[in-house]
């Protein structure tokens, strides 16, 4: 009889061992996938410059906000975010250091990167920011009357954007594609700073006749960014329709952009927290993020 029971006991032990193995070995089909490896690049519109508090661990020189669109997207979708956006960045800072101790932004990219977002191009050659400052100064001198900025500068700003800025953004996007070959790359246009006409002098100190002039310049800038995206296979995120009626001349709670005078941000003429959230929604809708 003993020689009959031993095989049965061995069979029970084997079954128990198999059951234990089933409990301890994870099922590959049900394993949780790793979070999306998400990198945010770009300038002050990416960084959310002017919004407090600053992002934890970010370089204060970059004025990167905890409530910028990248942090919003990462939090809402559970992404693993590396945010190297920095206020004042130009396309050249994708491959060169902007400040001592601040690595080139493209260094954050790798073959493991799944998603890249950015706004970039507005600071290149200081064209766009120079136009805003020049038109603001001219508007103050004429007390908001006429079109002094257009009279002085003509199409020089737009021409610089069409040629130099466009080429620079193409180069920057090619760098991103090379460093992160497996990633979806999305570049945003800039939300409207001003309404189509009229303006709101002196809160935005642009002469009435120069408001359409600056709107046309911003249209040219966004067109250059969109064409650069098409040329490199990146996704263009259009902010124009969504931000219409949310410019710096609108009341608090409606505007996405803070005005030059009376700004609640410490960096005026930039998106506030509502604007960054609005931009995040456009990224999510365009990229069909769930």
Tens-digit pLDDT profile for residues 235-290: 999 999 999 999 999 999 999 999 999 999 999 999 999 999 999 999 999 999 97
Instruction: Quote the tokens at residue 143.
Output: 């007390």
Range of the domain at 280: 35-287
Q: What pLDDT score was predicted for residue 18?
A: 46
Task: Confirm whether 107 is domain-assigned.
Answer: yes
Please answer whether residues 173 and 103 qualify as being in contact, where contact means their C-beta atoms are separated by less than 8 angstroms.
no
Q: Please report, for the domain that includes residue 171, its CATH number.
A: 3.40.50.1110
Any domain includes 52: yes
Establish if 62 belongs to a structural domain. yes
Pairing of strands 115-118, 37-40: parallel
Contacts 24+ apart (CB under 8 A), 6-9: none
109 lies in some domain: yes
Q: Which of 44, 58, 188, 243 is catalytic?
A: 44
Please check whether residue 26 lies inside any domain of the structure: no
Looking at the 3D structure of the chain, how many domains does it have?
1
Q: What is residue 145's predicted lDDT score, i.e. its pLDDT?
A: 97
Does residue 22 lie in a domain region? no
Q: Is residue 262 part of a domain?
A: yes
Q: Which of 71, 93, 246, 270 is catalytic?
A: 270
Q: Which residues of the chain have pLDDT under 70?
A: 1-30
Decide if 164 is catalytic.
no
Using omega within 30 degrees of 0 as the cis cutoff, is the peptide bond preceding 26 cis? Answer: no
172 within domain boundaries: yes
Based on the residue annotation, tell me whether 44 is a catalytic residue of this protein.
yes
For 214, residues 6+ apart whose C-beta sits below 8 A from its C-beta are 131, 132, 135, 149, 193, 194, 206
pLDDT at 30: 57
What number of CA atoms fall less than 13 Å from residue 166's CA on the CB side? 18
């Amino acid at each position: 009889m003993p020689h009959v029971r031993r095989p049965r006991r061995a069979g029970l032990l084997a079954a128990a061992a198999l059951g234990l193995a089933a409990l301890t070995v994870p099922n590959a089909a049900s394993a949780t996938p790793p979070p999306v490896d998400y990198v945010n690049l770009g300038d002050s519109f990416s960084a959310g410059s002017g919004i407090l508090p600053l992002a934890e661990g970010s370089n204060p020189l970059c004025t990167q906000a905890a409530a910028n669109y990248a942090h919003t997207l990462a939090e809402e979708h559970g992404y693993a975010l590396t945010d190297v956006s920095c206020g004042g960045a130009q396309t050249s800072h994708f491959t060169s250091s902007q400040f001592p101790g601040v690595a080139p932004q493209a260094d954050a990219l790798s073959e493991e990167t799944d998603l890249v977002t950015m706004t970039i191009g507005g600071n290149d050659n200081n064209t766009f920011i120079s136009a805003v400052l020049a038109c603001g100064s001219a508007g103050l001198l004429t007390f908001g009357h006429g079109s002094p900025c257009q009279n002085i500068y003509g199409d020089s700003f737009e021409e610089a954007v069409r040629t130099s800025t466009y080429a620079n953004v193409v180069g920057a996007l090619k760098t991103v594609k090379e460093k992160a070959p497996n990633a979806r790359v999305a570049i945003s246009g800039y939300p409207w700073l001003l309404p189509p006409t009229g303006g709101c002098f002196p809160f935005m100190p642009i002469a009435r006749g120069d408001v359409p002039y600056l709107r046309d310049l911003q249209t040219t800038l966004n067109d250059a960014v969109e064409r650069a995206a098409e040329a490199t296979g990146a996704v263009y995120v259009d902010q124009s329709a969504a931000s219409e009626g949310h410019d710096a001349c609108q009341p608090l709670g409606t505007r996405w952009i803070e005005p030059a005078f009376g700004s609640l941000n410490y960096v005026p003429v930039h998106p506030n927290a509502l604007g960054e959230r609005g931009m995040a929604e456009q990224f999510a809708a365009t990229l069909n993020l769930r």
